Amino acid sequence: MKKGKQGEGTLLTSVILSAPGPLILAGALLYGRSSTQVADFIRRSLELIALMVSYLVFRFMGRQVLTQTKKDQLQKLADLFVGGSMCLSGPVILFLSFWSFGQEKGNVAPGLIIALMGVFANGVFALRYGVLYQREAHGIFSIQKKLYQAKFLVDLAIALSLTTVILYPGSRMTDWTDFSGSLLVSVYLLYSGMKILRGHSHR
C-alpha cells in the first residue's frame, strides 16, 4: 500500500507540475512565434492529457479488485494515450517547422525558461520513475520513465534551439537551428511513441 501511495503521489505531482506549462506557453505565443515554441506548446498539451490518463488509471487500479485481463486493458489504455500523444505531436511539429520557416521569431524567452525548467524537472522524474519501477514492476511506472526520458531530451534540444534564437536574433542561422530543433523533437517523439505503442517499452 505504501508503494502504491508513493507511486500515486509521484503521478499526481507530475500532473500538477506539468499543468502550468501549456498555459504559460499559450501566453508566450502572443509575443513569440518560434516554430520550436509552438511545437513545444502542442507537445506539452498532449503530454498533460496523457499524464492525467495515466494518473487516473493507476489510481483506479489501486482502488479496485481487478482481474489480470482488466488490468492489462487499463495498462493498454494508458500506453495508448502516452504513445499516441507522442506520435501525434511528431507530425504536427514537423508541419509547423516547415510552415514557419524564416518567419519572425519574436520573444522566445518564456519558452526558453519553461524548457530549462523542464530539463531539470523531467530529469528528476525520469530517475524517480526508474526507482519506483525497480521497487514495483508496474507498467505505469515503466511507461512514465520512458515518457520522462523523452521529455528530458526534447526539452534539452528545445532549450539549445531557443538559446541560439536569443543569442543571434535576426540571423539566418537561427532559422536553421529553430528548424533543426523542431525536426529533432518531431522525429524523436514519433520514434518513442511508436516504440511505446508496439510494446517495446516494457522490455
* For residues 183-191, average pLDDT: 82
pTM equals 0.76
Where are the domains positioned within the chain?
2-102+109-202
- Which residue did the predictor score with more confidence, 124 or 174? 124
* For residues 173-201, average pLDDT: 78
CA distances to 38, 106, 144, 153, 160 from 16, rounded to whole Å, are 22, 29, 15, 21, 26
- Contacts of 18-21 with C-beta under 8 Å, sequence gap 24+, read 18/44, 18/47, 18/48, 18/51, 19/48, 21/48, 21/114, 21/118
* Interval 30-47: pLDDT, tens: 666 666 667 778 877 888
The pLDDT-based confidence of 66 (bands split at 50, 70, 90) is: confident
Report the pLDDT value the prediction gives residue 4, as an integer from 0 to 100.
61
* Interval 3-24: pLDDT, tens: 567 788 889 998 998 888 788 7
| CATH number 1.20.1510 is the correct assignment for the domain at 2-102+109-202 | yes
Alpha helices in 19-171 (DSSP H): 20-28, 35-63, 68-99, 109-135, 139-167
Per-chain mean pLDDT for the chain: 81
Q: Considering Cα of 68, then 74, then 76, then 79, what sign does the dihedral take?
A: negative
Report the pLDDT value the prediction gives residue 32, as an integer from 0 to 100.
63
| Nearest CA-CA partner of 177 in 193, 196, 162 | 162
176 class by beta-carbon count within 10 Å (0-12 exposed, 13-18 middle, 19+ buried): middle
Three-class SS state of 33: coil
Contacts of 188 (CB under 8 A, 6+ apart): 150, 153, 154, 157
Go through 28-41 and write b for each residue having 16 or more CB atoms within 10 A of its CB, e for each that does not.
Answer: bbeebbbbbbbbbb
Contact in structure between 150 and 187 (CB atoms under 8 Å): no
What DSSP string describes 71-87? HHHHHHHHHHHHHHHHH
